[in-house]
């Protein structure tokens, strides 16, 4: 049954039960959303289940299904019935999938209110312009680093957009993610500073002598170019926990991806899958855009390739992250899962990881940022200990809790006294919180060029 027909019949059934005409304007919003939900469910692929999520989030998920097809158009139309468009815009802003939504709504022929249509057009165009600017900057930095004989890989960004969508205009883009060897971090940093980039996180200013501490303790530097208005994340490792994905780096398998008439080197397929899964799990997938990008890329892979990717993640010890990602892609975006993986994915741990991610991503309305919800990122903290396995991973994860790089940069102690930082963690946190409350709020301070430290969900803007 076509979804629109299912919707018509559901409305008619609802009207006959209540004694009202199905065209009566007195049908409540709750009833309207309920019957529309039946049509959405009728259009969903096997395994996909959006029941219980807010209607605006259901429509956002439908818009993120890939590749485009008549079936996706039908589901988008069904999900758009009776949706609160103002709320939908807020969900798109929270989940960073405006480009995909505009594309899907247009393809499905969904009539939009004029104001919503105009806003989506502006969001889509501005997102595409920024993506093109970041892609061009990535190519410029690639030529610059090649001239300096400094090897680098470009992670996510334009390379992933081309691999996933074959286009730069659909994927939300915030920065250029650049991976270099740890031993080249200082030299790459100096090159970027010479090009006009300034550090914004983990601290806006620190002495050159402290860079070694940053490289030891952290995974990246966030930089911003005031003239170009562009952001770069300079990575020397991929994940906050140094044990996770330590086998993946500059020496790993790589591939060249065609971008704007040039090319960017990025991780090989298996390595890219493992990284995207662990990256998403590290932030509990609190933005739909990360899952949409992974799902779109995986839709072009054969089932046996997906199995091989999962087995590779197993060898790296990050199969919980891979399983969580695959189950989320299936649940929210309808990705078919290979039957071979069913026993590994039907475990209590996997169900828990999926539940935590769905809470972080959607919560009760899918439009409030995780940091603004009760307990904020602390809601995702226990799941961080399920990303990997082994004592080395566990101890490194504990270290992330008890040591804070910002404290070490703000209140430097001699190396011999670094053991005191875990003991001072709580007093320093209280001091920072007190200063934030007393500090006057600068105009426009709600959205700066960078998002702050990235070792946790609260700092993952990309």
What is the CA 64 to chain-centroid distance, rounded?
13
**294-326 pLDDT per residue, tens:** 999 999 999 999 999 999 999 999 999 999 999
The more confidently predicted of residues 112 and 425 is 112
Cβ(238)–Cβ(179) under 8 Å?
yes
In this structure, the answer to whether residues 412 and 363 fall within a common structural domain is no
Residue 380 within any structural domain of the chain: yes
Strand duo 230-235 + 176-179: pairing: parallel
In this structure, the answer to whether residues 358 and 286 fall within a common structural domain is yes
In this structure, the answer to whether residues 176 and 236 fall within a common structural domain is yes
Tokens describing residue 123: 């969001």
In this structure, the answer to whether residues 22 and 105 fall within a common structural domain is yes
pLDDT grade, residue 184 (50/70/90)?
very high
3-class SS at 414?
Answer: coil
In this structure, the answer to whether residues 290 and 407 fall within a common structural domain is no
In this structure, the answer to whether residues 191 and 264 fall within a common structural domain is yes
Residue 451 within any structural domain of the chain: no
In this structure, the answer to whether residues 63 and 148 fall within a common structural domain is no
pLDDT grade, residue 104 (50/70/90)?
very high
What is the CA 141 to chain-centroid distance, rounded?
24
What burial class does residue 420 get, using C-beta atoms within 10 Å of its C-beta: 0-12 exposed, 13-18 middle, 19+ buried? exposed
In this structure, the answer to whether residues 291 and 422 fall within a common structural domain is no
**212-228 pLDDT per residue, tens:** 888 888 899 999 999 99
Q: Which residue, 153, 180, 177, 158, is CA-closest to 169?
A: 158
pLDDT grade, residue 22 (50/70/90)?
very low
In this structure, the answer to whether residues 290 and 386 fall within a common structural domain is yes
Residue 67 within any structural domain of the chain: yes
Give the residue numbers spanning the domain of 24.
3-120
Residue where a domain terminates, one of 337, 366, 395: 395
pLDDT above 90: percentage of residues in the chain: 66
C-alpha 314/C-alpha 384 separation (Å) is 17
Tokens describing residue 211: 């860079």
Residue 289 within any structural domain of the chain: yes
C-alpha 396/C-alpha 418 separation (Å) is 16
Residue 458 within any structural domain of the chain: no
Q: Which residue, 245, 386, 384, is CA-closest to 316?
A: 245
| pLDDT value of position 444 | 40
Helices (H) and strands (E) in the chain, counts: 20, 7
Cβ(365)–Cβ(95) under 8 Å?
no
Q: Hey, CA dihedral for 147, 139, 232, 180, is it positive or negative?
A: negative
Residue 460 within any structural domain of the chain: no
- The beta strand positions in 216-323, using DSSP E, are 220-225, 230-235, 254-259, 262-267
Tokens describing residue 28: 């409540």
pLDDT grade, residue 41 (50/70/90)?
low
DSSP state, 374?
T
Residue where a domain terminates, one of 78, 105, 120: 120
**146-180 pLDDT per residue, tens:** 999 999 999 999 999 999 999 999 999 999 999 99
In this structure, the answer to whether residues 272 and 298 fall within a common structural domain is yes
The more confidently predicted of residues 350 and 9 is 350
Domain total in the chain: 3
Flag the least confident range among 47-51, 116-120, 166-170, 453-457: 453-457
pLDDT grade, residue 264 (50/70/90)?
very high
In this structure, the answer to whether residues 389 and 426 fall within a common structural domain is no
In this structure, the answer to whether residues 423 and 279 fall within a common structural domain is no
Residue 452 within any structural domain of the chain: no
The residues facing 233 across adjacent strands are 177, 222
Residue 369 within any structural domain of the chain: yes
């Amino acid at each position: 049954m076509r979804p629109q027909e299912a919707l018509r019949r559901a409305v008619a059934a609802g009207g006959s039960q209540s004694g009202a005409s199905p065209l009566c304007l007195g049908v409540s919003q709750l009833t309207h959303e309920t019957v529309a939900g039946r049509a959405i469910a009728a259009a969903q692929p096997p395994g996909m289940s959006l029941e219980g999520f807010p209607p605006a989030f259901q429509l956002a998920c439908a818009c993120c299904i890939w590749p485009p097809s008549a079936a996706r158009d039908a589901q988008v139309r069904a999900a758009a019935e009776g949706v609160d468009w103002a709320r939908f815009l807020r969900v798109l802003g929270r989940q960073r999938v405006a480009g995909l939504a505009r594309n899907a709504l247009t393809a499905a022929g969904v009539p939009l209110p004029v104001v919503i249509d105009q806003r989506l057009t502006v969001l889509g165009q501005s997102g595409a312009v920024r993506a093109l600017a970041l892609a061009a900057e990535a190519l410029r930095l690639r030529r610059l680093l090649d001239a300096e004989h400094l090897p680098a890989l470009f992670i996510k960004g334009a390379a992933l957009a081309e691999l996933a969508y074959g286009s730069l205009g659909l994927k939300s883009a915030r920065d250029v993610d650049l991976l270099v060897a740890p031993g080249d971090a200082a030299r790459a940093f100096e090159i970027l500073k010479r090009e006009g980039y300034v550090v914004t996180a983990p601290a806006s200013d620190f002495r050159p002598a402290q860079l070694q501490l940053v490289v030891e303790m952290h995974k990246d530097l966030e930089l911003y170019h005031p003239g170009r208005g562009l952001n770069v994340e300079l990575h020397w490792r991929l994940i906050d926990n140094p044990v996770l994905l330590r086998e993946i780096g500059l020496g790993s398998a790589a591939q060249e991806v065609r971008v704007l008439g040039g090319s960017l080197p990025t991780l090989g397929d298996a390595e890219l899958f493992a990284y995207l899964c662990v990256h998403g799990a590290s932030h509990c997938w609190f933005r739909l855009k990360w899952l949409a990008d992974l799902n779109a890329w995986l839709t072009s892979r054969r089932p046996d390739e997906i199995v091989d990717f999962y087995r590779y993640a197993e060898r790296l010890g990050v199969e919980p992250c891979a399983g969580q990602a695959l189950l989320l892609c299936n649940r929210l975006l309808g990705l078919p899962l290979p039957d071979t993986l069913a026993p590994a994915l039907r475990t209590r741990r996997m169900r828990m990881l999926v539940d935590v991610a769905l809470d972080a991503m959607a919560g009760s309305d899918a439009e409030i940022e995780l940091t603004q919800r009760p307990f904020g990122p602390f809601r995702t903290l226990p799941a961080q200990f399920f990303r990997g396995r082994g004592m080395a991973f566990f101890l490194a994860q504990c270290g992330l809790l008890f040591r804070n790089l910002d404290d070490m940069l703000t209140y430097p102690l001699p190396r011999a006294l670094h053991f005191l930082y875990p003991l001072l963690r709580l007093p320093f946190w209280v001091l920072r919180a007190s200063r934030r409350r007393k500090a006057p709020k600068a105009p426009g301070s709600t959205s700066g060029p960078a998002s702050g430290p990235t070792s946790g969900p609260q700092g993952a803007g990309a």
